Structure 1
Amino acid sequence: MATVIVGAGIAGLTAAWQLIGAGTDPADVVVLEGSDRVGGKLARAEVGGHLIDVGAESMLAVRPEASELVREVGLGDALTAPATTSASIWSRGRLWPLPAGTLMGVPSDPESVGGLLSDGEVDRLRHEQPWPGGLDTDVAVGEYLAARLGDAVVDRLVEPLLGGVYAAQARSLSMAAVVPALFAAAQRGDSMLGAAAAAAVARAGTRQTRSAFCGVVGGVGRLAEHVRDVLVERGVRVETGAMVRELTRTATGWRLTCGPVPAAYSIDAGAVLLAVPAPAAARLLSGAAPVSASLLGRVEMASVALVTLALDRRELQQRGYALPGSGFLVPSTEGRAIKASTFSSGKWAWVDALSDEVVFLRASFGRAGEVAVLQRSDDELVRTAVREVGEAVRFPMPHVVDHHVQRWGGGLPQYAVGHLDRMSRVAEDVAGVAGLEVCGATYGGVGIPAVIASARAAADRLMSSKGLR
């Protein structure tokens, strides 16, 4: 019987690729996607007459999983590094260079953050305080670092970096899950500054000189589309608009109920891999794995919005303005609506080469717990992006030739304190159910490489421990 993968984001597509690469007959692999396209948070749209990413636009290069997949599916020649990695932090009315040598915002050298932090705040950072009683359990990363290094380090360095990745507040994120290197150092009782310095030395001691991030010429969204095409060419069935509403056990495996109630249909499967967000996984697992369903149902999800602008290039040049570096991050304490902006035409050479008439930039909105900002209309978000980016760079934005607003409702799982333990319980529970696996951003990291690793591992477990190999 078929192996059915529910969800055609990069997790589900990777799982299908892994299955057929390990010997599963492609005709026995089915991928069902409830929306009208594949890719999940990897998405492209036409802006200013050109296809450009409106979802994830870069991948962590210091982990190999994403670049390996790109090469395996025949897109290796499209891998590219950023043209610049010079980013800033918008704080107290100006842009400050993002300090080099930090470990998720924790500086290796207190002097490197002078200016961004006041003299008093740098002095507080320099005099690191112990954590009372030592650390033997998970804790909120913002709470821990504020106690040891001061609030300013969390508010102006750690928070904007973590907010850009998780759309979360640092004082609610699991230290063990989101900064494991710092958590391990904390458990040993080591200095946080020392841990950041050791990480900086380790990076400098490697032969790796490329950027920590990479992209794909044509957009990261191109990767998902290409994997889909390769899978279909090899005989895998990939269906969009196929919402799975129910998952039930049968005598021989599983039955998936799909489609709208008036036109529901069923698919029988020997094994099922759920590559969907936590709320959808919780709903589908309610009968087969109620413990997992309960745990996944408690994972909070943050919503975000991404505004992409195509700006008049000639007007920008005629005024003698240039967007500085690759973009900037915004601490939540600044009271701004945007949390970050990426100057896409400056960051990526392929984007810059798309047009002589426009330059592209992105502005992102949405942190966990923020509701009012995302309730603004698309037009209001565009106006806010234009205004606030202009205030950050200290010159008015040129004419907006075109724009695109992408909303990701419930798009990012929140790694609350204790998240790893809860996901370990999910893994243990699912392992006890024959022919069932889960994967995706909820379990072991929200970045593209981590999601790919989760999908490959789930596919391997499904084949080996469930007797499919």
Structure 2
Amino acid sequence: MTYSEERPRHSRPREVVVVGAGVAGLSAAWRLRAELGAQARITVCDAASVLGGKVRTVELVGRRFDVGAEAVLARRPEAVELMREAGLADQVVHPTSASGSVRALGRTAALPKGTMMGIPASAESVAGVLSADGVRAVEEERHAPPLTLPPHDVSLGALLRERFGDEVVERLVDPLLGGVYAGGADGLGLRATVPAVAAAVDAGATSLTEAVAATLPAKPSSAPVFATLRDGLGGLVDRLATGSAAELRLGQPVRELHRRPGGGWRVRLGAAAAAHAPTDADLEADAVVLAVPPPAASRLLATVAPDAAAAYAEMELASMAVVALALPPGTELPPSSGVLIGERERRSDGRPFTAKAFTFSARKWAHHGEPGQPVFVRGSVGRFGDTGTLQVSDDELLARVRSDLAELTGVTADPVDSYVQRWGGGLPQYGVGHLDRVARIEKAVAELDGLAVAGAALRGVGVPACVATGTAAARRVVGR
């Protein structure tokens, strides 16, 4: 029996509180307004003083530039469709034809095609990146004992090392995963991070190379893979906030969530754990959407949905930083869209790189590469478990990233402007057991009328996945 069959449909909510003003929470607020109409009262609360969560657009030498998420996966429709629904269709742009690269074996090589998140479909596809021994290991993988997977998730890194050896993980997969999760393959789950490959094995593929080959299109698609907004993804955040007509309570953390005896919810605001009596800071709501990171979700659900709270508490987080550089006009960058850097790669002086990746934004996006304009570059820093790299001042982080850029590209020009954006605990790790934890959360929340959860900790860290969870949460609390 489904949830809707077990319980009678309740009247549509008139007052809804959304906790979290990131893209998931604001997507929920936007959809709530569309579903409930102008008479509903929608309130969005966030401990931060600015909207957007991990979407942040700043002014860099007078131009708008993203220092959080910088693109959306266009082949997953939710984000691009929402941009168009929000009246931003004329702002949607796609990358240039420049391809990415990877730093492997002490040199920079083109990012190989014929891979899925760095997992190769054939030895030929990675011949330009791996050593002869590494290529041979990929070739031999298809002759290894037939691969079968248990129904539960397994460590992606352990499986790859067993089938391919270490080099594929360290030279290819980890650099790619580091850009998405700020984590490596050893700490992530196969089914949680590359479900298409797992599904291919479940469907009968007997090797990882065969499984990856089965997931790749027979012919390259001409459809763009990524998209963004010409004036920055912050434009979507602003449009969602305005279009939802929500009352914004920024800089006001939610400290407690209580069920009211007669139905509905009481949301208590304020950083301090104060008296238990209701105060003027309390918000009364028919429904609540929680779109906050795992630590906050765990705390707020501790008394109303302890099983969900426990599952959230088991999730680990990675911190990272984005160092944005505006270099003088005319600065010559490599022809690629950027470079990924493996954790084991070393500079010519033997020291590890501080940066894990660079995006050559002036090459990747035509609107950032206009003649006569400053040349934009993004450096990404921070890997799961490496806390020391980020424990330096902004000036020191900037200096180290600039030094890495010079090492990789020869570019030594002083920036005309720069910006350091830190994201503490910004990326949830989809480790082994993640899908089980999400199922526990969803099951526990489904038992509570007028409550839904959303956000990057559930079913994808990208903007489209966050939009999808926010939209689904809104529809759940209105009975759809």
1:98-150 deviation per Cα after TM superposition (whole angstroms, max 9, x unaligned): 01121111122311211311111101110003377754431111111121122
1:350 matched to which residue of 2? 367
SS of the equivalent of 2:101 reads strand
1:460 matched to which residue of 2? 475
Query: Which one of the candidate residues 100, 116, 119 is aligned to 1:103?
Result: 116
CA contact under 8 A between 1:13 and 1:224: conserved in structure 2? yes
CA distance in 1, matches of 2:212, 2:149: 19
Query: Which one of the candidate residues 248, 253, 258 is aligned to 1:248?
Result: 258
Matches within 5 A, 1:234-273: 236-251=246-261, 252-261=263-272, 265-273=281-289
Query: Which one of the candidate residues 273, 294, 301 is aligned to 1:285?
Result: 301
1:178 matched to which residue of 2? 193
2:77 matched to which residue of 1? 64
1:348-378 deviation per Cα after TM superposition (whole angstroms, max 9, x unaligned): 111223x724201000011110011010111
**Residue 191 (structure 1) shift:** 2.0
Bigger mean CA deviation after superposition, 18-27 or 429-438 = 18-27
CA distance in 2, matches of 1:134, 1:279: 32
**Residue 463 (structure 1) shift:** 1.3
**Ranges in structure 1 where 5+ consecutive residues have no aligned partner:** none
**Are 2:235 and 1:222 aligned?**
yes
Query: Which one of the candidate residues 447, 450, 453 is aligned to 2:462?
Result: 447
CA distance in 2, matches of 1:131, 1:370: 36
- The amino acid that maps onto 2:338 is G
**Residue 27 (structure 1) shift:** 3.5
Going from structure 1 to structure 2, the CA distance change for 1:84 and 1:132 (only over 3 Å counts) comes to closer
| Higher helix content, 1 or 2 | 1
Aligned residues: 452
Bigger mean CA deviation after superposition, 32-41 or 107-116 = 107-116
SS of the equivalent of 1:416 reads coil
CA contact under 8 A between 2:201 and 2:208: conserved in structure 1? yes
Query: Which one of the candidate residues 118, 142, 149 is aligned to 2:157?
Result: 142
**Are 2:303 and 1:303 aligned?**
no
Going from structure 1 to structure 2, the CA distance change for 1:203 and 1:154 (only over 3 Å counts) comes to farther
**Residue 392 (structure 1) shift:** 1.2
**Are 2:333 and 1:322 aligned?**
yes
RMSD value, Cα: 1.8
**Are 2:432 and 1:417 aligned?**
yes
- The amino acid that maps onto 1:244 is V
CA contact under 8 A between 1:303 and 1:366: conserved in structure 2? yes
Matches within 5 A, 1:86-97: 86-97=99-110
- The amino acid that maps onto 1:70 is M
**Are 2:175 and 1:160 aligned?**
yes
Going from structure 1 to structure 2, the CA distance change for 1:26 and 1:337 (only over 3 Å counts) comes to farther
CA distance in 2, matches of 1:43, 1:249: 34
CA contact under 8 A between 1:57 and 1:221: conserved in structure 2? no
CA distance in 2, matches of 1:328, 1:382: 18
Query: Which one of the candidate residues 406, 431, 446 is aligned to 1:390?
Result: 406
SS of the equivalent of 1:219 reads coil
CA contact under 8 A between 2:122 and 2:209: conserved in structure 1? yes
CA distance in 2, matches of 1:203, 1:463: 42
CA distance in 2, matches of 1:144, 1:26: 54
CA distance in 1, matches of 2:173, 2:234: 28
Query: Which one of the candidate residues 350, 353, 356 is aligned to 1:339?
Result: 356
2:34 matched to which residue of 1? 21
CA contact under 8 A between 2:61 and 2:416: conserved in structure 1? yes
Identity of matched residues, %: 43
Matches within 5 A, 1:9-88: 9-25=22-38, 27-88=40-101
1:244-296 deviation per Cα after TM superposition (whole angstroms, max 9, x unaligned): 11111112311111134489711111111101111111111111111111110
TM-score w.r.t. length of structure 1:
0.92
CA distance in 2, matches of 1:264, 1:174: 45
**Residue 446 (structure 1) shift:** 0.3
